[in-house]
Structure formats: C-alpha cells, structure tokens
Amino acid sequence: MRTTETTVRFSHPFRLSAFDRAQPAGQYRVVTEEERLEGLSFDAFQRVRTLLYLPADALPGHTREVVDIDPAELAAALAADALLGPATPPHPT
C-alpha cells in the first residue's frame, strides 16, 4: 500500500457529489491510497481511494469528517475554482 498526501486550496465555496452541502473556501487535506499491482516486471500502482478531510464544524459535538471522493471530480472543481479567479476581500464599510 502506498499513501500520498497533498493539500488543495479553494478560493471560493465548492461542491462535490459526495457532499450534501457546499464546502467553504480554504485548504483541504487530500490523501490518496494506492495498492501495488503484483506480477508485473515493473512497479505499478492502482488507486484504491481518495479521501478529502473536511474541516471540523464549529458546532459543539461535531467532529472532523473524511469523505471518499472521485479524484477527477476534485480536479474539475479545482479547475472551476481557478477560473473564478482569486477571492476578493470584502470592502470595509
């Protein structure tokens, strides 16, 4: 088994089909687990799952959530976020 960990950043709220609601902008930990394919003359790995760690809810009694996601859907959401450009800070009133 091989595990790869990365961090992705969304500048805007985003949705994936694995969620029941939009997630806020911010940094998210992504862990990809792969298993080695046996019987080959070279090293090859097959993705087993990709996990996205959601931030803990601020509500009392809620814990951090880990969601199994489709990496292609994550890549598409990151590309869509990049097209929206950087988030603009709110104007002081």
Structural domain boundaries of the chain?
2-84
Alpha-carbon torsion angle 66, 69, 71, 77, nearest 10: -90
Q: What is the pLDDT of residues 33-67, one digit of tens each?
A: 998 888 878 888 888 899 999 875 656 666 778 99
How much is the pTM? 0.77
Measured CA to CA, the distance from residue 2 to residue 33 in angstroms comes to 6
Measured CA to CA, the distance from residue 17 to residue 69 in angstroms comes to 8
User: Over 70: is that where the pLDDT of 89 sits?
Assistant: no
Contacts of 44 (CB under 8 A, 6+ apart): 36, 37
Query: What confidence score (pLDDT) does residue 48 get?
Result: 87
Measured CA to CA, the distance from residue 13 to residue 4 in angstroms comes to 25
- Give the neighbor-by-neighbor strand order of the sheet with 65-69: 2-10, 26-36, 45-54, 65-69
